[in-house]
Amino acid sequence: MKTSLTRYLPLLLPLLLIACKPEIDFTVTGTDGAGEPSAENAIEFVARAEEQLAELGQEAERMAWVYSNFITEDTEKLSAIANEKFTARQVEFAAEAAKFNDTEGLDSDTRRKLNMLRSGIVIPAPGDPAKTAEQSEIGARLGGMYGKGEYCYANGNCLDLGLLSDIMADSRDPEDLLEAWNGWREVSPPMRDLYARQVELANEGAAELGFPDLGTMWRSAYDMPPEDFPAELDRLWGEVKPLYEALHCHVRAKLGEQYGTALVPQDGPIPAHLLGNMWAQDWSNIYSLVAPEETVASYDLTAILKDRGFDAITMVQAGEAFFSSLGFEQLPETFWERSLFVKPEDRDVVCHASAWDVDEKDDLRIKMCIKVNAEDFKTIHHELGHNYYQRAYNKESYLYRSSANDGFHEAVGDTIALSITPEYLQKIGLLENVPDASGDIALLMKRALEGIAFMPFGLLVDQWRWQVFAGEAGPEGYNDLWWQLREKYQGVKAPNDRPADAFDPGAKYHVPGNTPYTRYFLARILQFQFHRTLCEIAGDEGPVHRCSIYGNTQAGERLNAMLEMGRSQPWPDVLEALTGQHDMDATAILDYFAPLKSWLDEQNQGRQCGW
């Protein structure tokens, strides 16, 4: 899911300049440099930067909203111009902030904001204008290669990523799966040399801002020494790994039954094309192959919603009622007037669900093409979690109007979604009785195939990039490093020998799109830690996977107190405000999935686990 353009991660937008931009004066008055590197000038500079970025960010936000809801060549260009204007100012302010790196006498608040300005650009541009232009062109070309990518079969039928992904999800023919998997990876080899050059330029830009390489710059945003952050991630992964290994062992055994152990050896990594997803990051599409045989779904939420006459509006009203039950104020009337709930018939729109805070005050909106089904019911609760977070921190200064770290925003929405339990559905009248525990394993299996299966992938994407940024692998070694990490963390292997010029990382959008990925791993950790704490506050003494905080104002008050802090304090302090813990704790995941882990251990008796 996505929150609004400029507020999900402040200052985390790539330097994106459109190739054929119109002649426009991007000058913004009042930016005459940061001044001499004194504490007084630093304070004045930060205030000026926040004021201008807030103004430009709101302009870019409104343009992005119009473009997303009225897709035309004109609105696309207007949105790109506003975004370019905003990003250009970010680049200037980052360079100016770097001048204060060694300034003495700075208060902690000013130093924190200077670091946010300096480290907040995903792909920093070198100071040389020619290199900046080159970097912009590379970014546009990489995006175009990915966006226009398709694979043409021998019969002349050409499929894009969406249609190829449908084959990966639905087919059980290994040859069809292999061709779709290989086909999509024909898109990425031409990206490799461009990506390598982009890394060179971005590292040069990072060095000009005072960082040894781009990976260090990315890791500096986590309120700890950047060299300590990878070890923290490995610590968290070490807590989850036993559950993942048990899931992996069971899934591998079932795939061996489906496809034969010659294709799926029972002592090694799983071939990546058999897991139901183009990147083997989400295994939920193979649920029918690995599901507990003795259990069946105890209720069909989609059918219930349709039988009760729910539509897009009443689905959103149910989501708002959840937050109201926690003590949150109702959404403003403008939310209902300005949000997009149903796909219009008269124009193209971006249907991907997103949450927006257009004026950073109270102009909250969601944009969804809502369908009456269980998935969208959950998604609505998730997106509203972003909206309530946005409203909670809107009294903070500009740079602090965001989540404590980039994992928190997604985690909050996912935390609320975890409370969509049978108990919650019974309380709001969608179920007459709460089903017994006989279906819990099936429910937990579905959630594990989506969430637990994702975690090592969520970890390794940036592990690969950080090594690339640090020069530990050159272009000729990109692919080998990628598959080494895939096998190490996921226990997943390439289904065939990869060509010498392959660039399989480029087949995942976030790599050519330069979107940091560790946030998604952190969100998985945090959502269960938040959920367990809120259940304890609510006094729920049952299994944590059956807990819903619906109707508990004490849990709502504690949650809101954390949300109001935004990014104003280091994330460990924000985390402690809710959980009482100063560190992220993955044991909450083990608590949540404890029944499934016991079931998996029983199933895996006599099997050789590991790879």
Which member of 239, 423, 510, 536 is catalytic? 510
| Neighbour count for residue 468 (Cβ, 10 Å) | 25
Judged by DSSP in three states, 159 sits in strand
Residue 399 tokens read as 């740079």
| Sign of the dihedral defined by the CA atoms of residues 125, 126, 127, 129, in that order | negative
C-beta separation of 584 from 529 below 8 A: yes
Residue 324 tokens read as 């109201």
Q: What does DSSP assign to residue 367?
A: E
C-beta separation of 559 from 326 below 8 A: yes
The residues, ordered by sequence, that sit 6+ positions from 19 with a Cβ below 8 Å of its Cβ are 137, 140
Per-residue DSSP letters for 419-432? T--HHHHHHTTS-S
Question: Is 383 among the residues known to form the active site?
Answer: yes
Per-residue DSSP letters for 186-234? TSSGGGHHHHHHHHHHHHHHHHHTT-SSHHHHHHGGGSS-TTTHHHHHH
Residue 481 tokens read as 């490093």
Distance CA 359, CA 274 (A): 45
Judged by DSSP in three states, 185 sits in coil
Residue labelled with tokens 């204060």: 100
Q: What angle do CA 164, 65, 8 make, to 5 degrees?
A: 80
**Beta bridge mates, 364:** 357
- Output the CA torsion 530→532→534→537 (10° steps): -140
Q: Which of 5, 8, 77, 123 is nearest to 510 (CA)?
A: 123
Q: Which of 189, 220, 293 is nearest to 512 (CA)?
A: 189
Question: Is 510 among the residues known to form the active site?
Answer: yes
| Neighbour count for residue 187 (Cβ, 10 Å) | 22
Distance CA 276, CA 285 (A): 5
C-beta separation of 30 from 52 below 8 A: yes
Distance CA 355, CA 388 (A): 10
Ranges of beta strands (E only) in 239-324 are: 270-271
Q: Which of 382, 420, 450, 410 is nearest to 593 (CA)?
A: 450
Distance CA 457, CA 273 (A): 15
**Beta bridge mates, 365:** 356
C-beta separation of 21 from 84 below 8 A: yes
Residue labelled with tokens 């990628």: 482
Q: What does DSSP assign to residue 366?
A: E
**Beta bridge mates, 2:** 354
Distance CA 27, CA 294 (A): 67
Which member of 383, 386, 409, 545 is catalytic? 383
Residue 177 tokens read as 């799966």
190: left (phi over 0), alpha (psi -120 to 50) or beta: alpha
Judged by DSSP in three states, 494 sits in coil
Q: Which of 154, 158, 21, 35 is nearest to 88 (CA)?
A: 21
Catalytic annotation, residues: 383, 510
